[in-house]
Amino acid sequence: MLDTSIIRFENVSKSYDADTKVLESINFELERGKFYTLLGPSGCGKTTILRLIAGFMQPSSGNIYFNGKLINNVPANERQVNTVFQDYALFPHLNVFENVAFGLRIKKIGKKEIEQKVLEALKFVNLSGYENREIAEMSGGQRQRVAIARAIVNDPEIILLDEPLSALDLKLRSEMQYELRELQQRLGKTFIFVTHDQEEALAMSDEIFVLNAGHIEQSGTPMDIYDEPINRFVADFIGESNIVSGTMVADFRVQIGGKEFECVDKGLTPNEHIDIVIRPEDLEITSVENGKMKVKVDTQLFRGVHYELSTYDDEGNEWLVHSTKKANVGEFIGLDFDPESIHVMRLNETEEEFDKRLESYGEDAYAN
């Protein structure tokens, strides 16, 4: 166990009824003071993990440790954890001050101390002066901050956030992303954030856990996961990707369709079937003669920073391209890419095997 470990899941499984396992043998260790994100499609078990950490329910099997101590049977109110819910769960009949003070009043803390703590928490979320406002008079973003103030006023070690930004419009949402991240850094607390929005996860997290149907597909820094997805599911879920089937011909050689390309991967079985991902921004538009691949432009959209082209090769594979260069719909163009831009994904590789394989390549392989 790490000295800095705050939460550890050991083979944690959870079933709500006899037939279905919602979580299947989850193992992870979270470090104190970091921003973690649980990312995955609806129903993959993100909220269930939060509920287990909060103590709203117990695992069906396995163990949960907090600061090294087993907490399976510790009730929610005795855990150093507070939750910010998706709908904020604020009390509409209480003003801002009383919403934030609520938990402290239950704990029977003295009046003076409550006032000091509430004002401090509101200052932290930039809501000083709003104490007497009714919740109905607060905007979506302000309600969000009241909910956060209510969570931090108890000085918990961990703050759980269950899709807290999903009710906000796009602009406010990205403002709140910055705010939340900045707040987490100022507080220095462990945040565990749930979302199904990959951009949000990439922008905010120290570490992301990508979940699928009750298990962890991959964990790592946003860059690790974006640059080196372990499999099709992760590659597809995190960002737009070109994912195709291919063959590992030999070390540093892959075959896609009938063509061979240089790559940086090695140590696989010759002729092993693999999946390959190339990110759209790693494909460069060039002339047909200079390209490694010849494709026909099917559609082109201007996306502000870049053009998004949908193109097809002779085999019928679609290649999405993000480029500041423009092409013409219907024309043949060449696509160029570096060997490092080809990411080889073995079928059914475990995360441990995958990490070992990448480590064996050394730093230089991905120094682009």
Ligand X SMILES: Nc1ncnc2c1ncn2[C@@H]1O[C@H](COP(=O)(O)OP(=O)(O)OP(=O)(O)O)[C@@H](O)[C@H]1O
Considering beta carbons, is residue 43 or 68 the nearer one to ligand X?
Answer: 43
Contact call for residues 281 and 308 (beta carbons, < 8 A): no
- Taking the complex as a whole, the smallest distance from the CB of residue 83 to ligand X amounts, in Å, to 13
Residue span binding ligand X (CB under 6 A) among the ranges 45-53, 183-191, 299-307, 330-338? 45-53
Considering beta carbons, is residue 99 or 205 the nearer one to ligand X?
Answer: 205
- Taking the complex as a whole, the smallest distance from the CB of residue 169 to ligand X amounts, in Å, to 19
Q: Which residues pair with 134 in a beta bridge?
A: 95
Rounded distance, CA 160 to CA 166, Å? 15
Q: Tell me, residue by residue from 166 to 185, as one string, x for binding to ligand X by CB under 6 A and - for no binding.
A: --------------------
Rounded distance, CA 33 to CA 19, Å? 37
Rounded distance, CA 128 to CA 122, Å? 6
- Taking the complex as a whole, the smallest distance from the CB of residue 49 to ligand X amounts, in Å, to 7
Q: Is residue 196 involved in binding ligand X (CB under 6 A)?
A: yes
- Taking the complex as a whole, the smallest distance from the CB of residue 16 to ligand X amounts, in Å, to 3
Rounded distance, CA 284 to CA 14, Å? 46
- Taking the complex as a whole, the smallest distance from the CB of residue 32 to ligand X amounts, in Å, to 24
- Taking the complex as a whole, the smallest distance from the CB of residue 94 to ligand X amounts, in Å, to 27
Residue span binding ligand X (CB under 6 A) among the ranges 41-49, 89-97, 115-123, 283-291? 41-49
- Binders of ligand X among residues 9 to 28 (CB under 6 A) are 16, 22
Q: Is residue 48 involved in binding ligand X (CB under 6 A)?
A: yes
Rounded distance, CA 186 to CA 172, Å? 21
- Type of residue at 46: K
Q: Strand 158-162 and strand 190-195: pairing?
A: parallel
Residue 272 in tokens: 């092993």
- Taking the complex as a whole, the smallest distance from the CB of residue 364 to ligand X amounts, in Å, to 38
Considering beta carbons, is residue 42 or 299 the nearer one to ligand X?
Answer: 42
Candidate list 7, 30, 44, 121; residue touching ligand X; CB under 6 A: 44
Residue span binding ligand X (CB under 6 A) among the ranges 37-45, 61-69, 218-226, 297-305? 37-45
Q: Strand 259-262 and strand 272-278: pairing?
A: unpaired
Provide φ and ψ at 147, rounded to 5°: -60, -40
Residue 294 in tokens: 């010849």
- Taking the complex as a whole, the smallest distance from the CB of residue 286 to ligand X amounts, in Å, to 42
Considering beta carbons, is residue 122 or 208 the nearer one to ligand X?
Answer: 208
- Taking the complex as a whole, the smallest distance from the CB of residue 22 to ligand X amounts, in Å, to 4
* Angle, CA of 314, 319 and 321, to the nearest 5°: 135
Residue span binding ligand X (CB under 6 A) among the ranges 46-54, 180-188, 200-208, 236-244? 46-54
Residue span binding ligand X (CB under 6 A) among the ranges 40-48, 87-95, 134-142, 349-357? 40-48
Of 347, 325, 350, the closest CA to residue 335 belongs to: 325
Of 357, 341, 89, the closest CA to residue 227 belongs to: 341
Q: Strand 21-31 and strand 5-15: pairing?
A: antiparallel
Q: Is residue 43 involved in binding ligand X (CB under 6 A)?
A: yes
Rounded distance, CA 265 to CA 229, Å? 14
Rounded distance, CA 258 to CA 233, Å? 25
Residue span binding ligand X (CB under 6 A) among the ranges 43-51, 175-183, 274-282, 309-317? 43-51
Chain positions contacting ligand X, by CB under 6 A: 16, 22, 40, 42-48, 196
